[in-house]
Amino acid sequence: MPSEAEARPARLTVGVVGAGRVGPALAAALKLAGHRPVAASGVSDLSRRRAATLLPDVPLVEPKEVLARADLVLLTVPDDALPGLVTGLAETGAVRPGQLIVHTSGRYGTGVLEPALRAGALPLALHPAMTFTGTAVDVQRLAGCSFGVTAPEQLRMAAEALVIEMGGEPEWIDEAARPLYHAGLAIGANHLVTLVAQSMELLRAAGVEEPGRMLGPLLGAALDNALRAGDGALTGPVARGDAGTVTAHLAELRKHSPQAVASYLAMARATADRAIANGMLKPEFAEALLEVLADGGPR
């Protein structure tokens, strides 16, 4: 018996410009919802292999040809490349009136799609708040994933419907708030990876054979607590005002991992500020700690 998606006719042909980690996964999710991927573009060998895995039998063509074949076009290129791409496609006449042009940048709203809008396209900004691997697991992770959605009011229902069809949850973001929204996600996700990688390096240097196994339960609990309680989940020497412990940390970091000192100090200062602001760290305990952080610890 055919699946539900296979049993109903495809409603939109889908094209992907920029077969990085995001585009093929979103197109594969749209295929599950009954749409039909028909073309993709990719430059590197890796992107071509990725497209072949997630979008089998979908031809790889030039971006202009992707637009010629698709009703719905996903522009999934790096943020800095997006304005030039949109302008170039519009100036060459690749954009058709009534065509849905969707970008997945967190930074931009629909303003960046103005050249396509002038050519008669329907502009949507749909940013999945998810980190992508470029593998089939990404399609599964879209279930329940929040999308930052920006679109003209008359296209709001269409934008939200597409997100729901991909398994996501639409979250409306005003055009002017897109950079702030994206900064919030970058601080939480991108910086987390850097912090965890640094932590694993330090634990290995201290003789821990499986730092990932040690950190997994700790970081999982810390994340869960932070999502539930915010600053109320702060623990550790900075939140307690243990200046002596922080001094010892900095001394060891300068000997064994000097490249980690700057990030330790920056996060410790931010943590101290938040702990003081919410009353967790009393001024009498904060003074010595703040002196250590201002001085940068022993050299």
**Got the DSSP string for 101-118?**
EEE--SS--SGGGHHHHH
Task: Give the integer Cα–Cα distance in Å for 99 and 70.
Answer: 8
Give the helix/strand (H/E) hosting 282.
none
pLDDT of residue 48: 83
| 4-173 CATH, one of 3.40.50.720, 3.65.10.10, 2.30.110.10, 3.30.360.10 | 3.40.50.720
pLDDT of residue 113: 98
Task: Give the integer Cα–Cα distance in Å for 42 and 130.
Answer: 21
Contact call for residues 275 and 240 (beta carbons, < 8 A): no
User: What is the DSSP pairing of strand 100-103 with strand 72-75?
Assistant: parallel
C-alpha pair distances (Å), 233 with each of 44, 77, 97, 198, 199: 44, 37, 51, 21, 19
Tell me the average confidence (pLDDT) per consecutive run of 10 residues in the chain, 299 residues long.
Answer: 42 93 95 95 85 92 96 96 97 96 97 98 97 92 97 95 96 97 94 95 96 97 95 94 95 94 95 94 90 84
pLDDT of residue 13: 97
Q: From edge to edge, which strands make up the β-sheet containing 72-75?
A: 36-41, 13-17, 72-75, 100-103, 122-128, 146-150, 169-172
Neighbours of 72 (CB within 10 A): 23
Token representation of residue 4: 């539900």
pTM listed for this prediction: 0.87
Give the helix/strand (H/E) hosting 17.
strand 13-17
pLDDT of residue 4: 43
pLDDT of residue 8: 42
